[in-house]
């Protein structure tokens, strides 16, 4: 297989791994930790994290993953690795729909609604706000974590299909 296609497939796996790891960390530690904290602290912390995530480090993994996967699919198809191209394209579509778009349509509006709420000073009022937010947010985060993990697995499988394609060059 040509070096550009191999390099693109490695980049696809790295990008998918980065965004899967990001979403997975929220599933298995961040949100559970916030759920155990004083709800006033949890709300303030989540507001701060949501405000800080819009940065140059997060941007490539979140926004460029479907582009990298799509470019890899096109390159694989162009070199005759149709099976690999299929898996990279499926990974791109999976992440685009259930990672990026889901985030923009569900999680971001929830984050913006939480950001607009002043942190209640009374614990019970804060607990109600946090309970209403956290449970729903975590469900959708789990969906995007699973989808990102599936995209990573598809990209990895696509990379294995590169060596199985007719385009293998000695």
Quick check: 6 pLDDT over 90?
A: yes
**Residue 163: band (very low, low, confident or very high) from pLDDT cuts 50, 70, 90:** confident
Domain assignment present for residue 71? The answer is yes
Q: What is the pLDDT of residues 10-24, one digit of tens each?
A: 999 999 999 999 999
Q: What is the pLDDT of residues 52-96, one digit of tens each?
A: 998 999 999 999 999 999 999 999 999 999 999 999 999 999 999
Domain assignment present for residue 169? The answer is no
Domain assignment present for residue 170? The answer is no
Mean pLDDT of 142-167: 91
151, two tokens: 């995209």
Q: What is the pLDDT of residues 135-145, one digit of tens each?
A: 999 999 999 99
> Tell me, what's the pLDDT at 37?
98
Quick check: 5 pLDDT over 80?
A: yes
Query: What Cα–Cα distance (Å) separates residue 45 from each residue in 35, 166, 170?
Result: 11, 52, 54
Domain that holds residue 60: 3-164
**Residue 164: band (very low, low, confident or very high) from pLDDT cuts 50, 70, 90:** confident
pTM, 2 dp: 0.93
Domain assignment present for residue 39? The answer is yes
> Tell me, what's the pLDDT at 51?
96
Contact 43, 132 (CB under 8 A): no
Domain assignment present for residue 150? The answer is yes
Q: What values do phi and psi take at 89, rounded to 5?
A: -65, -40
Quick check: 166 pLDDT over 80?
A: no
Mean pLDDT of 123-144: 98
Q: What is the pLDDT of residues 98-112, one digit of tens each?
A: 999 999 999 999 999
Domain assignment present for residue 51? The answer is yes
Could you give the CA distance from residue 9 to residue 159 in angstroms, rounded to a whole number?
6
Q: Who's near 70: CB < 8 A, 6+ residues apart?
A: 88, 89, 92
State how many domains the chain has.
1
Domain assignment present for residue 151? The answer is yes
21, two tokens: 């790891």
Contact 85, 77 (CB under 8 A): yes
Domain assignment present for residue 142? The answer is yes
> Tell me, what's the pLDDT at 170?
41
């Amino acid at each position: 297989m040509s070096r550009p296609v191999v390099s693109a497939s490695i980049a696809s796996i790295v990008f998918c791994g980065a965004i899967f790891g990001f979403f997975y960390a929220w599933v298995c530690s961040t949100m559970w930790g916030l759920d155990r904290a004083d709800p006033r602290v949890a709300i303030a912390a989540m507001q701060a994290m949501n405000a800080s995530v819009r940065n140059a480090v997060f941007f490539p993994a979140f926004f460029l993953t479907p582009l990298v996967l799509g470019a890899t699919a096109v390159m694989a198809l162009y070199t005759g690795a149709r099976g690999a191209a299929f898996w990279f394209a499926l990974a791109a579509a999976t992440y685009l729909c259930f990672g990026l778009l889901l985030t923009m349509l569900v999680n971001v509006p929830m984050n913006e609604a939480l950001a607009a709420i002043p942190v209640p000073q009374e614990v019970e009022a804060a607990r109600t706000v946090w309970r209403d937010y956290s449970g729903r947010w975590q469900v959708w985060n789990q969906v995007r974590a699973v989808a990102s993990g599936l995209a990573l697995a598809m990209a990895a499988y696509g990379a294995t299909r590169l060596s199985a394609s007719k385009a293998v060059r000695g």
